Structure 1
Amino acid sequence: MSAEATLTDVKRHVAIDLGASSGRVALGTVHAGKLTVEVLHRFPNGGIPVQGGLYWDVLGLWREILHGLRLAAGHGPIDSVGVDSWAVDYALIDEHGLLIDGVRHYRDARTDGVMDQLLGVLPRDAVYEFTGIQFLPFNTAFQLVAHRQQAPTQLDRARTLLMVPDLLHYWLTGRQVTEMTNASTTQLYDSRQTAWSEPVLNAFGIPAHLLPDVVHPGTDLGAVQPDVARDTGLHGTRVIAPGTHDTASAVAAVPADGKGWAYLSSGTWSLVGVETDRPVITPQALALNLTNEAGVHGTTRLLKNVMGLWIAQECSRAWGNPSFAELYGAAALVEANGPLIDPDDVRFLPPGLDMPARVQAYCAETGQVVPSTPAEITRCVLESLAFRCAEVLSQLEEVTGESIHTLHVVGGGSQIRFLNQLLADISGRTVVAGPVEATLLGNLLVQAEACGSIPRGSMREVSRICEILTTYTPVKKRTVTQHTIFAELTTRHAAST
């Protein structure tokens, strides 16, 4: 059954997408097998420093979400709503169903040194064998141990742990569950057994009772609670769990067809990966620090987290927030084959107005020409990101034994023509850019499929129908010298970690 043969009556779904720097509430309307998306409300997001800690303003996000839902209700009956967000961050709920403390930001410094401490308790290869998740200092497992060390009574008081989208689904429905794609990012979940990992929980001293039941993407969590319905006008609306990890939703909307493709979810982070039938947990995957995260329809997202546009965003903030179009345009005029950084170096992880100085210091320390202007620094950052993504694509080919000929770039970065051409040139692969709003689209597609608005298995076909895509083919080859320089930089980084 093709997407054109779907139901002809109008169905409306609402996607709430929370990113690290902004949030959106969007209306998805399905008619005659086609999905149209309208963003109804945008609002800022970001970390808030409080007494030495870094928090998310979840109550402020909830206020904005309610406003967006009121706007959606003005368009007619809403069939469903679902929330996705970034991964790893969580809320603790007490015995009365109330929020304890707040939601810490993954860039909070409290996790410094915790990962190394815990890997002395349970070795790296054992943790990877159980979870298949890459080692990042802010993973939920390490955050929880840091939380216990800093405020042990809070963990003792807690009855339930909810990931950020699960918290918002709880406030919408009153139901406390964890959706699988986000559970799989915690380093507490066994993707092969599809259950929380008792060996990891026991080794790290994390109480198993905190972790709720895990549900699949597309699960109907129930109707919107009466108080929310009265406030927003969403009477009778169902709450459907999408792929609540924003990358899972974005990958669900990749308009790919056939085999031999990879994806790059390009935003504050760059998520570079392939879709597999099952987790790939091997010594080689561990050595490359690849991660196995749950996807939609029982798939596995074998990928690597690469620092994304975060470095460029922080540099722009340091320069007074000039337009990105202006920055990228100027960077494209800078001579190619200049200095490079390893974007995954830990020095680039924390926020700060000294980000341009960090880029310059890295280049100086590695004996390269030091970029001096915003255009030169931006060129250095974007070119380095493209090299890193190309490197990961080659690693994915090695681990899976499958060739990759096409890279689908989705998310905000798909609009950066200069970066997309760099990706094509440096990787030597065809790059297909779009959709820009892949996360929203994937969220809506999962809801639409769960509600019967589109046929099961037609999500990528619907995505191809409703999106305009741009193709980039390799034009300029990078120099062997520059490839060698970048390999040396990342080899040094791997040795240090």
Structure 2
Amino acid sequence: MNFHIAVDIGASSGRIILGHIENEKLILKQVYRFRNDFFEENGLKKWNIDELIKEIFTGLSMINYQKMNNVTLGIDTWGVDYVFVNNKGKKISNPVCYRDSRADKKFQEITDKLTKEKIYAKTGIQFQKFNTIYQLSSESQNTISDVDKVLLIPDYINYVLTGKMVTEATNASTTQLVNLASEDFDEELLKAIGLKKEQFAKIVEPGTVLGTIKEKYRREYKLPKIQIVCVGSHDTASAVAGIPAFGKNWAYISSGTWSLLGTEEKFPNTTQEAFDGNYTNERGVNHSIRFLKNIMGMWIVQRIKKENFNNFSFQGMADEAEKFLPFQQFIDINDSVFLSPKNMLLTLKNYCVGTSQKVPRELGEIMMCIYSNLALYYANEIQRIQRISRKTINNLFIVGGGCNIDLLNQLTADVTGIEVIAGPSEATAAGNIITQMLETKEVSSITAGRKLIVNSLPVKRYKPATFNSDILKKYQLFLKEKGDLND
């Protein structure tokens, strides 16, 4: 029997998921879970990449391989961040976290130099100050001169495991350095930030086989010959591959630390409307395009929990929110003040003070403020994406950890006026494993893989109950007056 391992690492935690097909159903089992967070080093926010790799091996060593004939493994993580490797194949330093503010000044410098219009026409990628292009431009030339290869986070982990250097396509697209037409690194953009194409490994498609885990790791951790397969290594690419949807008129929210709201398309959309809305055209599994918008997501909830209410579970925090009325404040969830503040709750309260609104004080009030504004932001972007794509969205699929919050799902259905289908929460792992199964011929296509997911993993439906279009209109007016969103 074939078994498949999904190594799914997000910006706050990582999981090792074991999957196989049994009685025509996809069986998923979480083997190991570990925390992930950035730390401060020499004034920069950084990831402990060596610790992450150690956690992967800890999880792999916990699997009973005795009855497994063939084992494959795929790695997905967040996007944009990278590791520098020298000409001896060694890591130069820990990777800097995208939440560090070092690239803020370079963002303005690069976009002034090349213009946003030109960059967008080349790449189709949304503008975020932490995109790889701006992070790389903030590196010192002394550092750059020592760099043999720039490897994105999952590509570096694959390299450590196998010794093979590649750049997987879905994560490569998040760099804002890949040309839409050539599907390769754009040399003009690289020149503008002082790098060369040779400093990047060859771009490969999901499904590419890299080889087996190095013998030294197999001996140390008592592992079998695990074959490493490039999957949609950007976690959203794997999540979208794992959405149980068919047809054309659906949208998705991959809900975790970030909420990625979008549609799956065959071709990129770089129209003026897409540019104005700051929508991105990231690569997906099976040569698809993830046309989407990055939204701050559960990050605000995660930080408030960690900083102020760590004795509560996420579900317990949502239960407290149920005691309060929604829509008592309007918050631009995507405001940059929430990206990496020293104190998230104080930042939220100051935002309300600065916009002359009621300040939430109790835990339930705070959570309802966040959830109701997430729902409003989703609804605003659903309307926008329908205008840009010229399609009517009939179903909204919410997957990932955030799909377990009933309150948020119902609020989203109510303010969008669209049925919400929540689940599976394991969509990223499922999409990761489905991509591995494409290579082993256990599924014939992404569509076949999605059918397998539909028949295997539970979902929950939320129909609009009390759609109040006036609330959304007032929220949209608030955003317009604030001036952060063009509409």
Q: TM-score, normalised by structure 2?
A: 0.96
1:495 positional shift: 6.2
Out of 224, 227, 236, the residue aligned to residue 247 of structure 1 is: 236
Out of 97, 120, 125, the residue aligned to residue 117 of structure 2 is: 125
Q: SS at 1:259's partner residue? A: coil
Corresponding position: 1:265 with 2:254: yes
- State the 4+ residue runs in structure 1 displaced beyond 4 angstroms: none
Report the more deviating stretch, 251-260 or 315-324.
315-324
Q: Which runs of 5+ in 2 are unaligned?
A: none
2:302 maps to 313
Give the Cα–Cα distance (whole angstroms) in 1 for the partners of residues 441 and 236 of structure 2.
23
Q: SS at 1:172's partner residue? A: helix
Corresponding position: 1:469 with 2:466: no
1:61 maps to 52
1:393 maps to 382
Out of 430, 451, 458, the residue aligned to residue 440 of structure 2 is: 451
Give the Cα–Cα distance (whole angstroms) in 1 for the partners of residues 155 and 195 of structure 2.
19
Corresponding position: 1:209 with 2:198: yes
**Which residue identity is paired with 2:391?**
E
Give the Cα–Cα distance (whole angstroms) in 2 for the partners of residues 317 and 351 of structure 1.
13
On the 8 A contact 2:136/2:193 being kept in 1, the answer is no
Out of 315, 340, 349, the residue aligned to residue 339 of structure 2 is: 349
1:417 positional shift: 0.2
What are the Cα deviations for residues 364-385 of structure 1, in whole angstroms up to 9, with x where unaligned? 2222222222211111111111
Out of 319, 322, 333, the residue aligned to residue 323 of structure 2 is: 333
What are the Cα deviations for residues 172-205 of structure 1, in whole angstroms up to 9, with x where unaligned? 1110000000000000011332111122112232
1:317 positional shift: 2.0
Q: SS at 1:42's partner residue? A: strand
On the 8 A contact 1:130/1:200 being kept in 2, the answer is no
2:42 maps to 51
**Which residue identity is paired with 1:104?**
V
1:25 maps to 16
Q: SS at 1:113's partner residue? A: helix
Flag the 1:399–1:327 CA change in 2: closer, same or farther, 3 A: same
Give the Cα–Cα distance (whole angstroms) in 1 for the partners of residues 139 and 193 of structure 2.
12
**Which residue identity is paired with 2:49?**
V
Q: What fraction of aligned residue pairs are identical, expressed as a percent?
A: 36
Structure 1 residues 299-310: aligned runs within 5 Å? 299-310=288-299
Quote the RMSD (CA, aligned, Å): 1.5
Report the more deviating stretch, 233-242 or 285-294.
233-242
Q: SS at 1:202's partner residue? A: helix
Flag the 1:490–1:250 CA change in 2: closer, same or farther, 3 A: farther
Report the more deviating stretch, 340-349 or 454-463.
454-463
On the 8 A contact 1:340/1:381 being kept in 2, the answer is no
Give the Cα–Cα distance (whole angstroms) in 2 for the partners of residues 144 and 156 of structure 1.
12
Structure 1 residues 128-277: aligned runs within 5 Å? 128-148=120-140, 152-277=141-266
Give the Cα–Cα distance (whole angstroms) in 2 for the partners of residues 220 and 495 of structure 1.
42
On the 8 A contact 2:169/2:203 being kept in 1, the answer is yes
What are the Cα deviations for residues 317-358 of structure 1, in whole angstroms up to 9, with x where unaligned? 222312222211111220233112001111000043x21121
Flag the 1:247–1:269 CA change in 2: closer, same or farther, 3 A: same
1:34 maps to 25
Q: SS at 2:6's partner residue? A: strand
1:491 positional shift: 5.3
1:32 positional shift: 4.2
On the 8 A contact 2:144/2:195 being kept in 1, the answer is no
Give the Cα–Cα distance (whole angstroms) in 2 for the partners of residues 495 and 394 of structure 1.
13
1:3 maps to none
Give the Cα–Cα distance (whole angstroms) in 1 for the partners of residues 34 and 341 of structure 2.
20
1:286 positional shift: 0.5
Flag the 1:351–1:39 CA change in 2: closer, same or farther, 3 A: farther
Give the Cα–Cα distance (whole angstroms) in 2 for the partners of residues 484 and 184 of structure 1.
35
Give the Cα–Cα distance (whole angstroms) in 2 for the partners of residues 415 and 86 of structure 1.
21
1:382 maps to 371
1:362 positional shift: 1.3
Give the Cα–Cα distance (whole angstroms) in 2 for the partners of residues 207 and 454 of structure 1.
39
Give the Cα–Cα distance (whole angstroms) in 2 for the partners of residues 130 and 119 of structure 1.
13
Q: TM-score, normalised by structure 1?
A: 0.94
Give the Cα–Cα distance (whole angstroms) in 2 for the partners of residues 393 and 387 of structure 1.
10
Out of 399, 406, 410, the residue aligned to residue 399 of structure 2 is: 410
On the 8 A contact 1:48/1:55 being kept in 2, the answer is yes
On the 8 A contact 1:337/1:482 being kept in 2, the answer is no
Report the more deviating stretch, 355-364 or 237-246.
355-364
1:234 positional shift: 3.4
On the 8 A contact 1:89/1:103 being kept in 2, the answer is yes
Flag the 1:75–1:366 CA change in 2: closer, same or farther, 3 A: farther
Flag the 1:11–1:391 CA change in 2: closer, same or farther, 3 A: same
Out of 78, 92, 102, the residue aligned to residue 86 of structure 1 is: 78
**Which residue identity is paired with 2:277?**
L
1:481 positional shift: 4.5
Q: Which runs of 5+ in 1 are unaligned?
A: 1-9
On the 8 A contact 2:277/2:485 being kept in 1, the answer is no
**Which residue identity is paired with 1:268?**
T
Matched length: 483
On the 8 A contact 2:65/2:224 being kept in 1, the answer is no
**Which residue identity is paired with 1:221?**
L
